[in-house]
Amino acid sequence: MYVSIVSFQIYNIARETGKVRYYDHIAVISFVLSMLLGPFNYLMYYVYFFPWIYAGVKSIIESYEGTDDE
């Protein structure tokens, strides 16, 4: 239940603040998989680490490139 609430809130915040991009979907899906599979193996809790870093870096790069046009 926690995973569904958090992933729904993350998706809604991303949708309200701008376009939801492919790396946002990757981050949410990796979070859901990590939290669902984590009880079976504690290393699965770290599955979301790299996709979230990737999504954050892509978002920062995109926002930085958007400021050049202004």
Q: Which two tokens stand for residue 61?
A: 């790069």
Q: Is pLDDT larger for residue 66 or for residue 48?
A: 48
Name the residue with higher pLDDT: 10 or 56.
Answer: 56
| Residue 68's pLDDT band (cuts 50, 70, 90) | low
Percentage of residues in the chain with pLDDT exceeding 90?
3
Examine the pLDDT at 67 and tell me if it is beyond 60: no
Note the pLDDT of residue 70: 46
Distance of alpha carbon 39 from alpha carbon 46, whole angstroms: 12
